[in-house]
């Protein structure tokens, strides 16, 4: 191979035009995607940044803002909504861990145990995606009904003294985290599955042969080899969960004491019409997630996995 | 076990299989197999694809559980223990190197699991043994097939297992590299003094490397013994055709003459030394190896010590350098294969010839239709099909 590569040296010049043509073709094919990104991502992002610096002129109506360079928007939202930000990340983190704890065994079962039975494997995957056939708003409202104080679950738990008589689940952190985890489990399970499905079981046999018990095999072989799935699964769960405003909303599983950043942004945009605050909060959420995610990906040492 | 892995002077242990069977739904992969591998010896399990040899290996390593029977290592019954608890290591056909670890981490893995001190140091020593220490920091995917094979060997040998299992580890290598690895493997085995159990479908590999060869067919061991013994005196038609080539004549025992058993084959009478046949009456198959036969243009004189058949016609000659292979058609018999050493005198195709051999080279085996037929299916594709 290397010898033939060298022998082509002199003719390398003749190859160049073809390479140029090829790279032009690449740009041509990329064009629709780039235009789309420019129109629907870069432009709104710039508009968002501009909005985040706007200020209300003296005597303005509600929702009337002019261009300015008002840094205070950021400090104001941070002091006003710092607690909500921390809560968002805690909720999203807890929901991600729960989704991982449920999604990993599920993906392992489908990807490894069902491997000899392709039909069952496909069926199980369809079942994982099946909830998507119903709007997640409906499903979340359904959970609100199920977990309601008058509902069967809470009633039974109270009857068995698992819950004190005055307790309730809806409107608490628990129900919000539960809702987030529930809604994002498919996003966790699918990338995990695609990773676990490719796991070479002969390596696990080699581990057994080399004196590794089941726990060690899992920790030292299975987990490192399925790390790409774990990382994309947790990212696909954590990022949207941190910005979610449905589960935590008082209309669904939350209450005023469970407000997350998403709810804050929603309220500022739609109710308070404080656009600069909403925009700066959005940008803070975006950068915080970006920093967290980069740190996580970097820490997992996945440069050769991703 | 962990105290016994401290030095490089540890020897292997006996392996004993007692009536081991393994049934999978629909077929019996291993059927009542018993054998003993003495400590420090090189034992080869030889057989065609799908004969159950790999399953036998997996039973010994603990990756499969036997349906019945006992497996003893160093006199201790390990049948009920799990794979990771057995003092046995395997060099896998696929090598199964951990892709996320460096070569050194791969080799040190087993030692670290057992909490051996100086795991890294011992791993380096094992890599020196296979001459790959300079690649210790590479990932397995950056190595060539032959190098990966040696890493897999180092990863197993470093643990000083009582028993080392080799599952066709040379199967994926090209012929030249395979010959080289065979020599290296054999020298490593005598250097470290471990008990080796080698599974292969390559009869040449088994014969050149092993002290004892067991020929396996359809889940059963057909014959077991030193390679030369198996070759010179095969006990079944399968062994006679799988291990090298044989010219076989089906006939009926018609009496005895002196120390020989007389066999009627068609119109012909052949003799077999009574000591070289277990069958002394009824249907019998007489065999002789192709290189034992002498080809001559004039009819040699038959005697009690020399069997002669002919005349026949040479229908094909192929020159292989060291020897010439002839296919000779003798009326009333099968086509015979003859290997003649290359002495410069090549008999042309179409010539009329007589074939003769020293009667002491004849062997008698039970009449059987079971003959080894070379097939294209590899062990792996067959194994996949059975899962």
pLDDT tens per residue, range B143-164: 998 899 889 989 998 998 889 9
Q: Which two tokens stand for residue B280?
A: 């002394």
Question: Among B381, B172, B109, B100, which Cα is nearest to A199's?
Answer: B100
| Chain B residue numbers touching A216 (CB-CB < 8 A) | 113
Per-residue pLDDT at B74: 86
Min Cα–Cα distance to chain A from B339, Å: 41
**Element holding A144 (H helix, E strand):** helix A136-146
For residue range B353-363, list pLDDT tens digits in order.
999 999 999 99
The DSSP 8-state label assigned to residue A60 in this structure reads P
Question: Among B356, B351, B292, B291, which Cα is nearest to B324's?
Answer: B291
Q: Do B92 and A225 touch (CB under 8 A)?
A: no
Segments in chain A below pLDDT 70: 1-18, 301-306
| Chain B residue numbers touching A199 (CB-CB < 8 A) | none
Kind of pairing between the strands at B363-366 and B294-296:
unpaired
In 3-state terms chain A splits into helix, strand, coil percentages (rounded to 5) of 75, 0, 25
CB contact at 8 A, B249 and B262: no
| Chain A residue numbers touching B137 (CB-CB < 8 A) | none
Per-residue pLDDT, averaged over B232-243, amounts to 91
CB contact at 8 A, B194 and B40: yes
Residue B386 has pLDDT above 70, yes or no: no
What Å distances lie between residue B301 and A272, B269, B296, B309, B354, CA to CA?
Answer: 119, 14, 11, 10, 10
What is chain A's mean pLDDT, rounded?
88
Instruction: Scan for tokens 């022998």, then name that residue.
Output: A7
Q: Does A39 map to a domain?
A: no
Answer whether B88 touches A (CB < 8 Å): yes
Answer whether B387 touches A (CB < 8 Å): yes
Rounded Cα distance, B345 and B333, in Å: 26
Q: Does A294 map to a domain?
A: yes
Residue B282 has pLDDT above 90, yes or no: no
For residue range A2-48, list pLDDT tens digits in order.
333 333 434 444 455 667 777 888 989 999 999 999 999 999 999 99
Residue B373 has pLDDT above 70, yes or no: no
Q: Do A212 and B62 touch (CB under 8 A)?
A: no
| Chain A residue numbers touching B113 (CB-CB < 8 A) | 210-212, 216
Q: Does A304 map to a domain?
A: no
In 3-state terms chain B splits into helix, strand, coil percentages (rounded to 5) of 30, 35, 35
Per-residue pLDDT at A301: 63
Q: Do B92 and A200 touch (CB under 8 A)?
A: no
Domains within chain B, CATH numbers bracketed: 2-232 (3.40.50.300), 245-366 (2.40.50.140)
| Number of DSSP helices (H) and strands (E) in chain B, helices first | 9, 20
Residue B202 has pLDDT above 90, yes or no: no
Q: Do A213 and B84 touch (CB under 8 A)?
A: yes
Q: Do B110 and A208 touch (CB under 8 A)?
A: no
Rounded Cα distance, B140 and B361, in Å: 50
Report the residue of chain A nearest B108, measured CA to CA: A210
Q: Does A27 map to a domain?
A: no
The three state secondary structure string of A228-289 is: HHHHHHHHHHHHHHHHCCCCCCCCCCCCHHHCCHHHHHHHHHHHCCCHHHHHHHHHHHHHHH
Residue B249 has pLDDT above 60, yes or no: yes
Q: Considering only the beta carbons, identify the residue of B85, B96, B114 that sits closest to A206.
A: B96
Q: Does A22 map to a domain?
A: no
What is chain B's mean pLDDT, rounded?
86
What Å distances lie between residue B215 and B79, B224, B236, B385, CA to CA?
Answer: 23, 6, 10, 23
Q: Does A202 map to a domain?
A: yes
Per-residue pLDDT at A302: 55
CA angle A282, A283, A284 (to 5 degrees): 90
Per-residue pLDDT at A17: 65
Q: Do A212 and B63 touch (CB under 8 A)?
A: no
Q: Considering only the beta carbons, identify the residue of A116, A203, A212 that sits closest to B113.
A: A212
Q: Does A17 map to a domain?
A: no
Per-residue pLDDT at B22: 93
What Å distances lie between residue B11 and A165, B4, B161, B186, CA to CA?
Answer: 70, 10, 8, 15
Residue B371 has pLDDT above 80, yes or no: no
For residue range B82-110, list pLDDT tens digits in order.
999 998 999 998 999 999 999 999 999 99
CB contact at 8 A, B353 and B335: no
Q: What's the total number of domains in chain A? A: 1
% chain B with pLDDT above 70: 93
List B163's β-bridge partners, or say none.
Answer: B88, B195
Q: Does A113 map to a domain?
A: yes
Domain that holds residue A156: 76-299
**At A266, which CATH number?**
1.10.3720.10
């Amino acid at each position: 191979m290397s010898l033939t590569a060298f022998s082509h040296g002199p003719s390398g010049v003749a190859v160049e035009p073809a390479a140029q043509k090829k790279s032009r073709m690449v740009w041509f094919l990329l064009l629709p995607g780039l235009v789309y990104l420019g129109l629907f991502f870069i432009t709104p992002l710039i508009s968002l940044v501009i909005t985040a610096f706007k200020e209300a002129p003296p005597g303005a109506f509600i929702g009337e803002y002019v261009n300015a360079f008002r840094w205070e928007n950021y400090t104001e939202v941070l002091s006003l909504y710092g607690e909500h930000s921390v809560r968002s990340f805690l909720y999203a983190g807890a929901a991600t861990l729960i989704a991982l704890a449920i999604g990993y065994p599920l993906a392992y079962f489908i990807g490894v145990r069902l491997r000899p039975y392709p039909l069952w494997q496909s069926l199980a995957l369809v079942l994982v995606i099946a909830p998507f056939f119903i709007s997640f708003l409906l499903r979340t409202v359904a959970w609100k009904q199920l977990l309601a104080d008058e509902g069967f679950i809470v009633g039974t738990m109270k009857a068995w003294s698992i819950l004190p008589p005055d307790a309730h689940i809806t409107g608490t952190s628990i129900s919000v985290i539960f809702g987030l985890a529930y809604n994002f489990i498919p996003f966790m399970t699918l990338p995990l599955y695609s990773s676990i499905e490719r796991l070479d079981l002969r390596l696990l046999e080699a581990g057994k042969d080399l004196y590794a018990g089941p726990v060690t095999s899992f920790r030292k072989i299975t987990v490192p080899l399925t790390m790409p799935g774990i990382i994309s699964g947790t990212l696909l769960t954590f990022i949207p969960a941190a910005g979610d405003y449905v589960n935590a909303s008082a209309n669904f599983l939350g209450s005023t004491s469970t407000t997350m950043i998403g709810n804050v942004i929603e309220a500022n945009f739609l109710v308070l019409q404080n656009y600069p605050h909403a925009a700066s909060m959005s940008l803070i959420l975006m950068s915080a997630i970006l920093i967290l995610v980069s740190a996580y990906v970097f820490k997992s040492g996945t440069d050769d996995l991703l | 076990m962990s105290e016994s892995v401290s030095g490089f002077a540890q020897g292997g242990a006996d392996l004993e299989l007692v009536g081991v069977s393994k049934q999978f739904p629909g077929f019996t992969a291993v059927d009542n197999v018993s054998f003993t591998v003495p400590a420090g010896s090189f034992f080869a399990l030889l057989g065609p694809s799908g004969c159950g040899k790999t399953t036998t290996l997996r039973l010994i390593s603990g990756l499969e559980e036997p349906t019945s029977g006992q497996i003893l290592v160093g006199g201790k019954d390990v049948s009920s223990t799990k794979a990771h608890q057995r003092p046995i290591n395997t060099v896998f056909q696929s090598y199964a190197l951990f892709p996320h670890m460096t070569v050194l981490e791969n080799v040190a893995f087993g030692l670290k699991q057992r909490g051996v001190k100086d795991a890294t140091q011992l791993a380096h020593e094992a890599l020196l043994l296979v001459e790959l220490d300079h690649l210790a920091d590479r990932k397995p995917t950056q190595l060539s097939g032959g190098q990966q094979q040696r890493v897999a060997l180092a990863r197993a040998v470093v643990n000083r297992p009582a028993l080392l299992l080799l599952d066709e580890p040379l199967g994926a290598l090209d012929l030249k590299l395979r010959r080289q690895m065979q020599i290296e493997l054999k020298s490593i085995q005598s250097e470290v003094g471990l008990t080796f159990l080698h599974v292969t479908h390559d009869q040449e590999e088994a014969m050149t490397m092993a002290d004892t060869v067991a020929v396996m067919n359809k889940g059963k061991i057909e014959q077991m013994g030193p390679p030369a013994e198996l070759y010179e005196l095969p006990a079944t038609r399968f062994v006679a055709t799988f291990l090298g080539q044989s010219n076989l004549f089906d006939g009926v025992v018609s009496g005895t003459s002196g120390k020989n058993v007389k066999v009627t084959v068609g119109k012909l009478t052949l003799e077999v030394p009574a000591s070289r046949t277990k069958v002394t009456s009824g249907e019998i198959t007489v065999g002789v190896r192709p290189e034992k036969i002498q080809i001559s243009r004039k009819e040699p004189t038959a005697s009690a010590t020399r069997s002669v058949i002919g005349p026949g016609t040479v229908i094909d000659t192929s020159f292989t350098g060291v020897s010439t292979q002839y296919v000779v058609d003798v009326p009333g018999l099968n086509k015979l294969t003859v290997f003649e050493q290359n002495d410069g005198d090549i008999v042309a195709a179409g010539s009329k010839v007589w074939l003769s051999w020293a009667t002491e080279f004849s062997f008698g085996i039970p009449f059987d239709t079971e003959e080894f037929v070379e097939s294209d299916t590899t062990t792996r594709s067959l194994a996949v099909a059975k899962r």
